[in-house]
Amino acid sequence: MTIERLFNLTGKVAIVTGGHSGIGQGLADGLAEAGANLVIAGRRYEVCEEVSQEIASRYGVQSLAVRCDVTHNEDVDKLVEATLARFEKLDIMVNSAGISGSEKPITEISEGYWDRVLSVNLKGTFLCSRAAARTMIKQREGKIINVASMDAFITARNMADYSASKGGVLQLTRATALDLVKYNIQVNAICPGYFLTPMNLKFFTTEAGKKVIDQKIPMRRLGNVEELKGIAIYLASSASSFTTGAAIIVDCGETIW
């Protein structure tokens, strides 16, 4: 198979949760550029619809917006149902919906906020992976891509809730990969370092944020979501047919510095 065909996603159907903003939007954009039809899912339907129309217009693919709270099983089931009703199949599930941690020491993290972080970041990934897998098993093929974090490997002060959730995503990725390998379904994780997104923009304009860039990131700059597109296309395409249970760290070397 030629390199062009290996990475070609024309005709494939991908759901991207959290695809209306930040890293999720960057991944969705990359998959569409490679030819995939998209379902952009998130809690803010109007924003999902806006991004969906913009991507469809830019790349000439089909795109659908669906309101979905990934912490609610009913929403997730309806998301997959809407996808199948429109496209009659599901090839790629990208679990990108997530929230940041409380940025407090463990003694000050409320039980409610802990539950919220684990619910969105870990439970949401579980619910979406499970729903996608049930369809992909019938198709005898599929790709599940989870967005974890470098914080699944290292951590910092005041990151207990976020690090626990992303560590859980990493282990969920591995366990799901083992469960689904016999069905020709590959399950992998992207583990980003510091990328500039609407979620962290305010922090990185502060002196503390600038200190993080200068002291923790070898290139002394933040990543651009454009720099995640290639990884997403690889994991969504035939090029990764022998890759499963992997965690690809994209952090400018921070975890080894």
3-class DSSP assignment, residue 179? helix
Q: Could you give the angle at which helices 160-180 and 111-118 cross, rounded to 10 degrees? A: 30
CA dist 169 and 189 (Å) reads 8
CA dist 176 and 192 (Å) reads 20
C-alpha dihedral (73, 64, 54, 202), degrees to nearest 10: 0
Q: Could you give the angle at which helices 22-33 and 229-236 cross, rounded to 10 degrees? A: 60
3-class DSSP assignment, residue 114? helix
Which of the following is catalytic: 45, 59, 113, 162?
A: 162
Selection from 1, 27, 16 nearest residue 234 by Cα: 27
CA dist 95 and 122 (Å) reads 10
SS3 per-residue string spanning 154-167: CCCCCCHHHHHHHH
For residue 221, give the DSSP letter: S
Q: Could you give the angle at which helices 22-33 and 45-59 cross, rounded to 10 degrees? A: 30
Say whether 113 is catalytic.
no
Query: Cβ contacts of residue 234 below 8 Å, gap of 6+?
Result: 7, 240
β-sheet bridge partners, residue 145: 94, 188
The residues annotated as belonging to the active site are 162
